[in-house]
Chain A
Amino acid sequence: MIISIASGKGGTGKTTVATNLAMAIGSDVQLLDCDVEEPNSHLFINPVFEKTITVTTPVPEIDEKKCNLCGKCDEICQFKAIIVIADTTVMTFPELCHSCGGCEKVCPENAIKEISRELGIIQKGYRNGIEFVHGKLRVGEAMSPPLIVRVRSFTKPDKFTIIDAPPGTSCPVIASMKNTDFILLVTEPTPFGLHDLKLAVGAVKMLNIPCGLVINRSDIGDNKVKDFAKKEGVPVLLEIPFDRNIAEAYSRGDMIVEKLPGFKEKFLTLHDNIKRIVN
């Protein structure tokens, strides 16, 4: 079973839920941190990494001796990553390339060959029964979805796989949520939390995947998040009240299932409820 943990708004406690759920389950569980722009789960899980892979994407390189400046590559490229200027020069902008392969295929002179651009790295490791994988986008790299796809390729069908998704609702989030069995949304009961939750629920509905809600710092705001969840038929599966001890534990990288009583049981119940909804 694959579940993803998402939230429209950042900083609502997505990583707290993902890591504590993985820790509570403890065995036969995978945690894939797909928030590759700012991966944080490892700071809580502290896995022993045993493997680091560099992930690249193909981009074109032009052999100027072969190129006759016909302009076909410029014409096919939708991302302005190859430009032929005034029939005198051809230039590539590898950072804009989406690796569609169009230019190479269209070039009549075979002047284009593939080189690679580094997207980032993937690291894999373990902490006890938890298999941990995360991606780290190279600083300066704009495109995270292809790296997210590569992190997800580590999914093992016989395990309970938890995906920590990035915040928002645009393409990197969709790349992390699609083709999963369940989406757990994490929010807080504030106007910002509610607004961004509405967007996230919109994305979940579009993907047509069952979902549930965790309300974090559940007593700091108002009731509007709960009213919205009820109206939309999204079950509230866990509420975590505000507690300065939790905030401090989080700030140190401590796990609440280890440091505070009662939370391990709460997260195990959450796990059971998710399994019940999916099956």
Chain B
Amino acid sequence: MKELIIISGKGGTGKTSLMAAFAYLAENKVLCDADVDAADLHLVTAPDILEKHDFQGGNTAIINKDKCTECGLCIDLCKWGAISETFEVNSIECEGCGVCVYFCPEKAIDFPLNTCGEWYISDTRFGPLVHARLGIAEENSGRLVSLIRQEAKKLAEEKGLDLILTDGPPGIGCPVIASIGGADAVLIVTEPSVSGKHDMQRVVQLANHFKVPAFLCVNKFDLNKDITDEIEKFAKEKGLTCLGYIPFDQIFTKAMIQGQTIFEYDSNSSSAQAIRKLWESLLENLSVCMKDK
């Protein structure tokens, strides 16, 4: 079984539209939306939810006023300043470290587990999808990402499917680290802009740091050919393969508005052709990098 994660560092490079296009092309796969903070893949895949589960992660302190003697120890101990002078815990500020709970001389602080999101197993016209929704302002996105990756793996094993295709989160922090660790490969989707290039270089570093093989593709490549050349040069220096170039095309937005992949919207468009080529070379490279393992 292979697990491919699509990431971009910078948002808005077209990662999810590309992921949806791959969902159309790929066979025998499980889809996984690991962008749990702003999951968008369901807007194109229109899932039928088969299973729904709560995600519990982390605890929050709550002071029981009846037991509290207002000694003030918890206020001094809390490194996040989450406890007010009137002995209320601000649940947004509370990191869930439990230090106040442990040291309160009156055992006056409760520490319930939070339900901070939901995760789902769904059916889509492209096959099974594992996805999630993190509550607003919640932490533990990394843990939720790890959980749905595990569930996607389980599902692939059960159904005998040989590919997991995962839409990863933006950035380089906790959820991204959780989404790429131990994956077979990442595909980095970049765009030729000063920001796109800068952010791509940071995700390439991240993939190297965690020793995950990385491939590159440039979306909107004709928006700024000079920067596309610079990206190509950078890729060469780092020994990365740039697998494809997709033109700057409003068709992606049009397809998205219809809730369709680009192949369903117009499979003859030059962008659709470019993605088909990209996908084919991705599959070739994926089997090569699996053999090396």
Residues of chain A lying within 8 A (CB to CB) of residue B38: 8-10, 167-169, 195-196, 199
A contact residues around B37 at 8 Å (CB): 167-170
- Interface 1/0 per residue, B1-30 and A, CB below 8 Å: 000000001111100100000000000000
Partner of B253, one of A101, A221, A252: A221
- CB distance A140 to B209 under 8 Å? yes
Nearest A residue to B250 via CB reads: A220
CB 8 Å contact bits of A24-56 with B (1 = contact, 0 = none) = 000000000000011010011000000000000
Select which of A76, A106, A191, A206 is within 8 A of B256 by beta carbon: A191
Q: Assess the A248–B223 pair: CB atoms within 8 A.
A: yes
A86 located at the interface, meaning its Cβ lies under 8 Å from any Cβ of chain B in the complex: no
* B224 & A251 in contact (Cβ 8 Å cutoff): yes
How many angstroms from the CA of A221 to the CA of B58 in the assembled complex? 39
A228 at the B interface (CB under 8 A)? no
Q: How far, in whole Å, are A102 and B102 apart by their CA atoms in the complex?
A: 9
Taken together as a complex, chains A and B put the C-alpha atoms of A206 and B138 apart, in Å, by: 12
Could you give, for residues 169-182 of chain B, a 1 whenever the CB lies within 8 Å of some chain A CB and a 0 otherwise?
Answer: 11111111100000
Residues on A with beta carbons closer than 8 Å to the beta carbon of B10: 10-11, 38, 40
Q: A142-B177, A195-B43 are in contact. Are A174 and B171 (CB under 8 A)?
A: no
A106 and B102 within 8 A (CB): yes
Q: Is the CB of B257 within 8 A of A139?
A: no
Is A99 located at the chain interface by the 8 A CB criterion? yes
Closest B residue to A177 using CB positions: B137
**In whole angstroms, what is the CA distance A173 to B224 when docked?**
30
Q: CA of A166 to CA of B11 in the docked complex: distance in angstroms?
A: 10
Q: Which residues of A contact B13 (CB under 8 A)?
A: 11
Complex: how many Å from CA A251 to CA B195? 7
Contact digits for B187-198, partner A, Cβ 8 Å, 1 yes 0 no: 000011111101
**Contact flag A100-B79 (CB < 8 Å), given A38-B10, A43-B195:** yes
The answer to whether A251 touches B223, judged by C-beta atoms less than 8 angstroms apart, is: yes
Chain B residues with Cβ below 8 Å from A110 are none
Contact of A139 among B134, B193, B196, B202 (CB under 8 A): B202
Question: How distant is A147 from chain B, measured CB to nearest CB, in Å?
Answer: 10
Interface string of B41-85 (1 = CB under 8 A from A): 001000000000000001100000000000000000101000000
Q: Could you tell me if B209 and A99 are in contact, using CB atoms closer than 8 angstroms?
A: no
Q: Is A277 an interface residue (CB 8 A)?
A: no
A263 contacts B by Cβ under 8 Å = no
Q: B177 CB to closest chain A CB, in angstroms?
A: 5
Asked whether A98 is an interface residue with its Cβ less than 8 Å from the other chain, the reply is: yes
Is the CB of B271 closer than 8 A to any CB of chain A? no
A9 touches B12 (CB 8 A): yes
Assuming the contacts A102-B99, A251-B192, asked whether A40 and B202 have C-beta atoms less than 8 A apart, the reply is: no
With A174-B92, A199-B136 in contact, is A192–B59 under 8 Å at CB? no
Alpha-carbon distance between A38 and B203 when the two chains are bound, in angstroms: 9
When the two chains form their complex, are residues B136 and A191 in contact, meaning their CB atoms are under 8 A apart? no
Residues in B lying within 8 Å of A, measured CB to CB: 9-13, 16, 37-38, 40, 43, 58-59, 77, 79, 92, 95-99, 102-103, 134, 136-139, 141-142, 169-177, 191-196, 198-199, 202, 205-206, 209-210, 223-224, 227, 248, 250, 253, 256-257, 259
Given contacts A37-B170, A98-B95, A170-B138, 20 further A-B pairs with CB under 8 A are A10-B12, A37-B172, A38-B172, A38-B199, A40-B198, A43-B194, A43-B198, A105-B103, A137-B172, A139-B202, A168-B37, A169-B37, A170-B134, A171-B137, A178-B92, A247-B223, A251-B192, A251-B194, A251-B223, A252-B227
The 5 closest A-B pairs by CB, nearest first: A11-B12, A10-B11, A100-B97, A37-B171, A251-B193
25 contacts between A and B (CB under 8 A): A8-B38, A10-B11, A10-B38, A37-B170, A37-B202, A38-B171, A38-B172, A38-B198, A43-B194, A43-B198, A44-B194, A79-B97, A100-B97, A101-B77, A140-B210, A169-B134, A170-B175, A174-B137, A199-B38, A206-B136, A207-B92, A251-B191, A251-B193, A251-B194, A253-B193
